[in-house]
Amino acid sequence: MTRDPLFIIVAIACLTVLVILMIGVGGFAKGGEFNRKHSNRLMRYRIIAQAIAVALILLFVFFRRGG
């Protein structure tokens, strides 16, 4: 399964969501100017990346079940 290109793309998408989330949580915990400037933008990026990741997961499941 780890050699499957679609699986690798799904894993990268999930890791991207995780990285964006960690940057957002870190900025929120630290507070200050970075949080004021970038918190809403990071939330939007996370939601978009999460939607893409979910769509890719659904595609992966669809194609692996013989769809």
pLDDT in tens, 10-53: 999 999 999 999 999 999 998 889 889 999 999 999 999 999 99
- Sorting pLDDT into bands at 50, 70 and 90, what band is 67? low
Asked whether the predicted pLDDT for residue 62 surpasses 90, the reply is yes
Asked whether the predicted pLDDT for residue 55 surpasses 80, the reply is yes
Are 52 and 13 in contact, with CB atoms under 8 Å apart? Answer: yes
Q: State pTM to two decimals.
A: 0.86
User: From CA 29, how far away is CA 18, in angstroms rounded?
Assistant: 16
Closest CA to 4 of 54, 67, 53, 59: 59
Residue 45 corresponds to which tokens in the numbers above? Answer: 């990026």
The residue that leads in pLDDT, 3 or 53, is 53
